[in-house]
Amino acid sequence: MYYFIGSVLYDCGVVDLMKKVEMRHPQLNLSAKRNDCGKIEATYVSNRFDPSGKLIEQVTTLNGINTNNSIEKILINLNKIEFENLEIFISRQEKIVEIYKNKGKVEQLRMVSDSLELLFEFRVKFKNWFDKMEYSV
């Protein structure tokens, strides 16, 4: 969850308001198949870990997808979007790290830095997946 500051005029003065913006963790789509109903089911990993720290694979039915495209093309297109979201997510986390550094908020800095490290590892997983698919990002 992130907060963005916006300013509003209130009684001839400027008041800062916090606006909550919902962020969804990017997901790496590992594989997909057509189910018995002709819909595409994708297996993906996101921000869920098992007790040993390994990413948990999850399955979802994809809605609004052109099922006439090949599975490979569907996966590449989905993961391109998710990779862009990951890059935005990382950029925002890096800004938060700088803010916490400047304000001396040690505990918050440690937590966000740990999260950022996981995002960097996730970026590597994306890049490895794209390499395997012989697609460059």
pLDDT tens-digit series, residues 40-90: 999 999 989 999 989 999 999 998 888 889 999 999 999 999 999 999 999
Specify whether the CB–CB gap between 44 and 60 falls below 8 A. Answer: yes
Backbone region of residue 23 per phi and psi (left: phi > 0; alpha: psi in -120 to 50; beta: other values):
beta
Q: If pLDDT is split at 50, 70 and 90, which confidence band does 17 have?
A: low
pTM: 0.79
Query: Residue 132: which residues within 8 A CB-CB, separation 6 or more?
Result: none
- Extract the tokens encoding 52: 């040993």
84 backbone dihedrals φ, ψ, rounded to 5°: -60, -40
Q: What are the strands, taking DSSP E only, across 28-84?
A: 28-34, 40-45, 58-62
